[in-house]
Amino acid sequence: MSRKGKAKAKKGLGGVFCMLVYLFLFLPIVVIVVNSFNATTSKPYLSWKGFTFDWYIKIWENSSLLDAFGNTIIIAAVSTILATVIGTLGAVGMYKYKFRGKGIIDGLLYIPVVIPEIVLGISLLTIFTNVNIPRGMLTLILAHVSFSVPYVIFNVRARLSGYDNSIEEASLDLGANRITTFFEVTLPVLAPGIAGGALLAFTLSIDDVIISYFVNGQTKTYPLKVMESIKSGVAPDVNALSTLILVGTIVLVVLTQSGLFKKKR
């Protein structure tokens, strides 16, 4: 085979490989979207009975599903705000100040990231039980903050790796106090890292199942609600709500990438 023929063969194999990878990634999503239009009403909702939009209407009649989704959004929003504030202050403090045990604390940040979620869930359950904190919305928020903070710190610290301290010194020399310098100089520079950490924390919170299972009490989240329905087959209304979430996510990504939220120069 000639060199040109070999190049075409490699290109063709590369295309096939990429197609298989994308098929592996997106086929489950396609199944969810397609099944959200399935007219079947018999469990386990696997056989195709026709096309319908009824499940998108019945979503609003399923109060337990909507309550679970609402709980998920509230927990994710509150835990993301708390984790972002704590993580940003922690990253800035560890970057600027040197103190005894700093290396140990830095190493301990990796434990919530690498530890199995089931171990972290059992640990948090034990703590909440020993201090008599009733399981529910509060314990869910505290648990989500605990595993989200390290991700915020890592993102902000990555942004700080190329940070120039001279701009803060210039701000202080020009008469600004430390608080003004932080909000007017430091914070805008760290904004991309903070935003990345916040988005990651929100994603981890809204998607968590294992840790939430141990600390939820009677408060149901959307992932836990979906997990409960697996025994009898995921109902098409769950697929419909998942599809709406997917569409909302795609719209947000498209708007972000199109530069709609960027400042006009």
Q: Tens digit of pLDDT for each residue in 182-226?
A: 888 888 888 888 888 898 899 899 989 999 999 998 889 999 988
Cis ω for the linkage preceding 44 (within 30 of 0): yes
Classified as helix, coil or strand, 137 is: helix
Query: How many other CB atoms sit within 10 Å of the CB of residue 210?
Result: 15
Q: Tens digit of pLDDT for each residue in 81-110?
A: 999 999 998 888 888 877 787 788 888 888
Q: Tokens for 75, please give them.
A: 């927990």
CA-wise closest residue to 88 among 150, 37, 8, 136: 150
pTM (predicted TM-score)? 0.81
Of the chain, the end-to-end C-alpha distance in Å amounts to 55
User: Above 60 in pLDDT, residue 265?
Assistant: no
Q: What is the 3-state secondary structure (H, E, C) of 139-207?
A: HHHHHHHHHHHHHHHHHHHHHHCCCCCHHHHHHHHCCCCHHHHHHHHHHHHHHHHHHHHHHHHHHHHHH
Give the pLDDT band (50/70/90) at residue 5. Answer: low
